[in-house]
Each structure stands twice: as C-alpha cells, then as structure tokens.
Chain A
Amino acid sequence: MRRVDACGNENGGVDAPCPALLEFENVSFTYPDGQPGLDKCSLTIREGSRNALIGANGAGKTTLFLHANGLFRPQAGMVRYAAHPIDYSRAGLRRLRGEVGLVFQNPDQQLFSANVREDVSFGPLNLGLDQKTVRERVDAALDAVRMSGFADRLAHTLSFGQKKRVCIAGVLAMRPRLLILDEPMAGLDHAMRKELLSVFDSLYGQGITLLLATHDIDFAFRWADRIHLMAAGRCVAAFDAENLADNAEALEEAALPLPDIIGLRRHLVGTRALDDSRAPRSVPELLDLLMQRSI
C-alpha cells in the first residue's frame, strides 16, 4: 500500500520521522548594544509539524525568528534550511524567504502600503508571479483570514487585530513551506483566535510546517506536536507535546506552569473518575472522555 505521510513523502506506509526542515545549531547572537539575543541555541523543526515556541518576555523568540528568515546572521553557530546551511547571498536569501514566511509580532512593522490589497500583493509580486496569479492569491489569502471585505480599506484605519490578520494574509499569499508567526494570537478576540486556528489546521492539512511563538502553555499543549522552550536566549528544552507532563522540571526552569488540564486529569485519575490510559490535551477532549464513561 502506498500512502503519503505528514512530510509529503510516499514512503510505503513506514512511519519514519519527517526530515528536519529548519535546524539551529549552537546559534549565538549579541545585539550591538551588548544585549544577548541568542546563546548557543539549538533547535530542530521537522517538516510538516506544528511547533510552539514558548519563553518569557525577552527570552529571544523574536531574535530566533529573525535568524530563521535570514534577516539576522548568526555570529556563531549555523542555521540550516532543508539540510543545507543558509546561503546568505542575494539569490540564496530570495529563495529562503520565498519558502520561510515570517509574520511579525507588531503588524505596523509589516504593513507599508496604505492599502490592504496592495500590501498583501507585495510578497507574491516579489516572487515574480504574474498579475493574474497574484490577484488570485491575494483574494484567497484575504479570504483565509476573513478580511475580504476589507481589501480596499486603508491600513491605518484598521484595528490592531485586523492589521494582524492582513499581515498573516500578506505572508500566506506567498504560499510558504514553513510559516513562522510571532505571537499571532496576541490581541485577537476569541472568535478570531478560533478562526485563525482553523486556518492553521487547514495549512497543516496542506503539509505546511508551522512554528509559532506564544505565551499560552495551555494552547501550546492543546495544539502543537512539539514544544520548544526558551529562556534567556538559550533553547532550554524541546519535547513532543504529549510528553509534556514528563517535562515539568524544564517548564519550571522556564518559569512556566503545567497546563491546567494536566492537573485536572491527575486529580480525576486520583479519584478514579478517569482511567490512567487516556491523556486528554484540552477541556473538550476531557469532557468527551468523562461523558463516555458516564454513559
């Protein structure tokens, strides 16, 4: 039987781990004013996976992302993309940035056309696509973030969350292979978070690799395949989300609590309301399990 795995390869049904798409190897970077940005950081993002990067304010998440897109160059160590060290020549960076899309933390950093549709068209036009294709991509991207009705609006008349969605569309329109988002959920309302999540799910379904920075451990546990922890410029730990409960120490070091759902599950297992074999990662999942038991 032939089937396609999460990495997009036909591998005859063997579940091998996907190859690494982006690798940091002992990357160090110090800002010109002496502030340490990254300190011997090593990290691996596998093709087709969902990754959450967690770290306190100033831990170096944004600095790491700027390296992934080739905007910053490591002062020591190496960044590899698709098994090759990043080529920092003009052409090499063009290729990299066509495949690695970066959505900035602050939307004003990314919007430079006054008009929404124009701004979203900026990336795909830079890829050298023709007008017709760009037009289609812009419409599709705006549709994906539910901003089609705002295509002709001025950027500065949008709310923060709306600007953020336009920024995401601007990168989606480039159809990246690896999509990096710096705190995409911050500042978005509940409904938009849910919608954005469904956008991520559909991107994940298309085989796009996702890496996002967040401060929300509950969300990371619920959503991600793999969780990466950062503290003071160091990449302190990385583990599969399902093994999070075994990494309480690492979390504690990064000053992060265990997700609420884990404490709740432990309590329910202790009172025998839930059997030990199940590890729900979200409240709805847990509710489902409890309902099944009570039937």
Chain B
Amino acid sequence: MLIDLCAYSNRWRAADPAAKGLFALSGLVSAFAAGNPLAAAGIGAIVSGMTVWGAGIPFSRFFRAALAPLCFFLLGALSLACSVDYRTGDFIWLPGGWTPVGRLAARSCGALASLLFFALTTPMTDQIALFRRLRLPETLIEIMVLCYRMLFVFSEALRDIHTAQDSRLGYASPSLALRSTGNLAAVLVVQVWQRARALHLGALSRNGDGVLRFLGPVFANARRDMVFAFAGSALLFALLAVMP
C-alpha cells in the first residue's frame, strides 16, 4: 500500500487535514480554472514541489503513485490528438491543433498533483475524520470506514489462504496453480462473508447500533497549518492572475 505508506510517514503527517484539504482543493480549482496551459502546469509543478520537498515524499514514490493516472491521461490526450473520420475512414492528426491537447494535459496534471498531494500526505483515517467534520452523509463515511478496514482484512485473508496453499505445493505446477486459484476464490467468498459477520458481532458486543462512532484526532497546530494553507492557496491563485 504505497499511498498508505506515504500518508503515514511524511513530514506533514501531523498537520491539520483541513489545511491540507484546503490547499489541495485550491490546487484543483485553480488548475481547472487556468485558461493558460502554462499556468496550469505551473500550478501542478508548485503542488508537486510541495509534496516532494515540503512533505518530504520521495520522488520515486510520488512518481509511482502518479504513473497509473498519468497513463489514463495519455490515452485521453491521444483521443484528442487523433481521430478518424468515420465517413471516409481517413485518419486525422490533431484535428483541433495542439491547443486543446496541451490545455487538457496541463489541467489534468495540475488536478492530479493536487489530489495526490492530499492522498499522499493525509492518512485515510484523518481524511475520514475531516469528512465527518465537514458533515458528509454518515452512511457514506461508514462505507469508507468499513471498506478501508475490510481492505486489509480481505488482503490478509487472501494472503493467508495463498500462503497456506503455496506451502503445501498448491502452486507447484500450472495445472495445480489453476486448481488452487479456483479453490482460493471459493474459500475467499466464504471467509469474507464469515469475517464480515464476525465483525458485525464484534460491533454489537460493544453496543454498536449501526452507527460507527469514533473519536477524531486532535491537531495541535491547526491554526498555524491553516495560515500556511491560505498562503499556499493565495500563491496558486496569484499565478492564475499573472498568467491569464
């Protein structure tokens, strides 16, 4: 879990998630609002710089986290860069010129950088606490809480079953591997169901009544963090103003 690892080990781990959220949101909004691709790219660069140098996330990790969405962008940009005239069957290169492609790419990168900034510096539990503070619907938050925890319960179950099979030569040959994989899928379904039921009993035993109540974390320097976030946001919007 690359994102989790970064979120828990970065320099700004203890900063108020509201401040980080504000800065990320400013990045997102300003990148979308940027008419000039250069401004959008600049915003992306500033936010990425904050992530790598400010929060101290190693560039290699940042890059790895960005790789998958970047591939999507590339495909998206490619579909803008070339099209096929369906009547004649002719292949058309750059129907609208470079401008729309560049604008899309720059805006997307700026927005991506902003989202990554938030995801890589803010642990999921802090994010959820923030959403709760922002009064997002309780159901939505509970789904996030359970999914996040279940993600690990399931991956643990998956790993345990796989290891158990492997240790008894379940993957020794391709045909055995195929059989074991089928078995694994079947067992996993039952296990997932059982674990979900067990967690439900666990919640009931501590007087859970369907609503998941947790104590939110306290952030010591919330005010200072907010000041920094406002300053950072101002910088981004200033860039928009000088490069219209």
A103 to chain B, nearest CB (A): 9
Proximity bits, B1-18, A CB within 8 Å = 1, else 0: 000100010000000000
Which of A117, A122, A170 meets B217, CB within 8 Å? A117
A274 to chain B, nearest CB (A): 45
**Known pairs A121-B214, A131-B215, A154-B8; A114 contacts B202 (CB<8 A):** no
B155 to chain A, nearest CB (A): 9
**Known pairs A97-B206, A122-B206; A106 contacts B198 (CB<8 A):** yes
A residues 131-155 touching B (CB-CB < 8 Å)? 131, 134-135, 138, 152, 154-155
Cα-based distance from A49 to B203 in the complex (angstroms): 27
Tell whether, in the assembled complex, residue B201 and residue A66 are in contact, meaning their CB atoms are under 8 Å apart. yes
Is B199 an interface position by the 8 A CB rule?
A: yes
**Known pairs A71-B201, A112-B149, A156-B152; A118 contacts B206 (CB<8 A):** no
The residue of chain A having its C-beta at the shortest distance from the C-beta of B199 within the complex is: A112
- Say whether chain B's binding surface is mostly helix, strand, loop, or mixed: helix
Tell whether, in the assembled complex, residue A114 and residue B124 are in contact, meaning their CB atoms are under 8 Å apart. yes
Q: Which of A94, A115, A117, A138 has the most CB of B within 10 A?
A: A115
Is A7 an interface position by the 8 A CB rule?
A: no
Tell whether, in the assembled complex, residue A134 and residue B207 are in contact, meaning their CB atoms are under 8 Å apart. no
B166 to chain A, nearest CB (A): 21
Cα-based distance from A63 to B171 in the complex (angstroms): 37
B residues 186-211 touching A (CB-CB < 8 Å)? 195, 198-199, 201-209
Proximity bits, A50-72, B CB within 8 Å = 1, else 0: 00000000000000001001010
Proximity bits, A84-118, B CB within 8 Å = 1, else 0: 00000010001001100110101011111111011
Is B156 an interface position by the 8 A CB rule?
A: yes
Q: Which of B123, B202, B209 has the most CB of A within 10 A?
A: B202
B15 to chain A, nearest CB (A): 14
Tell whether, in the assembled complex, residue A123 and residue B207 are in contact, meaning their CB atoms are under 8 Å apart. yes
A90 to chain B, nearest CB (A): 8
The residue of chain B having its C-beta at the shortest distance from the C-beta of A100 within the complex is: B205
Is B231 an interface position by the 8 A CB rule?
A: no
Binding site for B on A (CB under 8 A): 66, 69, 71, 90, 94, 97-98, 101-102, 104, 106, 108-115, 117-119, 121-123, 125-127, 131, 134-135, 138, 152, 154-156, 170-171, 174
The 7 closest A-B CB pairs, nearest first, are A121-B215, A125-B213, A123-B206, A118-B214, A156-B152, A126-B207, A109-B198
Q: Knowing that A104-B205, A114-B124, A121-B214 are A-B contacts, what are 19 other residue pairs whose CB atoms are under 8 Å apart, sorted by A's residue number? A: A71-B201, A97-B204, A97-B205, A98-B207, A109-B201, A111-B149, A112-B145, A112-B202, A113-B214, A114-B145, A115-B214, A117-B215, A118-B125, A122-B214, A125-B214, A126-B207, A126-B208, A135-B215, A156-B153
Binding site for A on B (CB under 8 A): 4, 8, 123-125, 145-146, 148-149, 152-153, 156, 195, 198-199, 201-209, 212-215, 217
